[in-house]
Amino acid sequence: MALELYHHGSSVCAAKVRLVLEEKGLNWQGHYLDILAGEQFDPAYLKLNPKAVVPTLVHDGKVIRESTVICEYLDDVFPETPLRPADPVARATMRIWTKLVDEEVHPSVRPVTYVSTHRHTIMKRSPDEVEEHINSDPHPVWRERKRGWIHQGFAAPDVQVAIRFFAKLLEDMDTTLARSPWLAGDSYSLADGALTPYLNRLDMLGFSDMWSDLPNLTQWFDRVRARPSFEPALFKYLPESLRADMTANGRAAWPEFKKILAAA
Ligand SMILES: N[C@@H](CCC(=O)N[C@@H](CS)C(=O)NCC(=O)O)C(=O)O
C-alpha cells in the first residue's frame, strides 16, 4: 500500500497530514515541492492539484486532495490508532474545530505568514520573477490577496482582521481546554492535530506572547509538543535556512503585529 505525499517543509496543511502519518506510524514517500520557489505551479503537479497547493496524497494511484479530507481518509483506511472520537457528540465537536481550521484559521494564517516572512523570501527575486510567481496562482481571489501581501505587507487590506482573528481563536481554544485536556474531549484527535501547525507557526515566528496569559492553551501546546509525532511532522522537512529566515523575519515583524493587536 504505497502512500505518497506531495508536501513542503513550512506548509501548515502538509504538517497537519504528516502529524497523522506519524501518529499512525505509517510509512510514506515524500515528493518535496518548494512552494516559495513556485514548484507547485509545475503543469505535472497541477494535474494532481489544480489549485496549486500542497499537500496532495496519492495512495496506490488514487489522488486525495485537501488536508482535512486527507486526514479523515487516512483515519478511514488505517483505523488502528483512531484519531476520531467514537462518541458522536465528541466527533461532531472535533469536526467543528477542523471545519473552523479550513474556513477561518487557514485563510487567516496565509496573510500572517506572507506579510511576516514569506514576502521577504519571494521579494529576493527580480521584479519580473515576483510578478510571474504571483500571476501563476490559478485562484483569482487568492492571487490578488497574495499580490497585496507581497507588495503591501502589513498595509494589505486583509491583514489586520487576520491578526485579530488569531487573538480570538487562542482565547476560544483556552476556554475549551479549561474543560478537557484535548479539543474534542478526553483523547487526542484530528482537532488537536489540525490546530497544532498553526500554534507552531505563531510560535516559530516568535509570537508566543499572544498566549502567555492563557494557561490551558499553554499546557495543551506543551502536551502536543511532547508527543513523538511533533518533531518529525513539524521540523524534519523544514530546511534549516528557511527555519532561520522565518524565525528572524517573524521576530522583526512582532512589533508591527503587537501594534495591531493593541489597537483591537
Ligand atoms: N485547503 C487546502 C489549502 C492548501 C494550502 O493553502 N496550502 C498552502 C501551504 S499550507 C500552499 O500550498 N500554498 C501555496 C502558495 O501559497 O502559493 C488544504 O487544506 O489542503
Domains for the chain: give ranges and CATH numbers: 3-77 (3.40.30.10), 88-262 (1.20.1050.10)
Using 50, 70 and 90 to split pLDDT, how confident is the model at 1? Answer: low
Written as one letter, the residue type at 209 is D
Q: What's the gap in Å between 256 CA and the centre of ligand 1?
A: 25
Ligand 1 atom with the smallest distance to the CA of 65 is 20
Q: With beta carbons less than 8 A apart as the criterion, state whether 193 and 19 touch.
A: yes
Phi and psi of 65, rounded to 5°?
A: -110, 170
Mean pLDDT of all residues in the chain?
97
Pocket test for ligand 1, best of 12, 31, 53 (most atoms within 8 A of CB): 53
Average pLDDT (152-174) is: 96
Ligand 1 atom with the smallest distance to the CA of 68 is 19
pLDDT of residue 200: 98
Per residue in 59-93, pLDDT (tens digit) is: 999 999 999 999 999 999 999 999 999 999 999 99
Distance CA 119, CA 147 (A): 10
Q: Residue 136, exposed/middle/buried by CB under 10 A (0-12, 13-18, 19+)? A: middle
Q: What's the gap in Å between 62 CA and the centre of ligand 1?
A: 20
| Pairing of β 62-65 and β 3-7 | unpaired
Residue 201: name the closest of 153, 160, 257 by CA.
257
Using 50, 70 and 90 to split pLDDT, how confident is the model at 116? Answer: very high
For ligand 1, whether the C-beta of 66 sits within 6 Å is: yes
C-alpha cell at 181: 485536556
Per residue in 190-236, pLDDT (tens digit) is: 999 999 999 999 999 999 999 999 999 999 999 999 999 999 999 99
Ligand 1 atom with the smallest distance to the CA of 33 is 12
Q: What's the gap in Å between 46 CA and the centre of ligand 1?
A: 13
pLDDT at 55 over 80: yes
- The count of other CB atoms within 10 Å of the CB of residue 255 is 8
Per residue in 243-261, pLDDT (tens digit) is: 999 999 999 999 999 999 9
Using 50, 70 and 90 to split pLDDT, how confident is the model at 264? Answer: confident
Q: Residue 59, exposed/middle/buried by CB under 10 A (0-12, 13-18, 19+)? A: middle
pLDDT of residue 46: 97
For ligand 1, whether the C-beta of 108 sits within 6 Å is: no
Angle between helices 190-204 and 215-226 (to 10 degrees): 100
pTM (whole model) above 0.85 = yes
Q: Which stretches of the chain are DSSP H helices?
A: 12-23, 43-48, 67-77, 88-100, 106-113, 119-122, 127-135, 140-152, 159-177, 190-204, 215-226, 230-235, 240-262
pLDDT of residue 80: 94
Q: What's the gap in Å between 13 CA and the centre of ligand 1?
A: 6
For ligand 1, whether the C-beta of 5 sits within 6 Å is: no
Q: What's the gap in Å between 66 CA and the centre of ligand 1?
A: 9
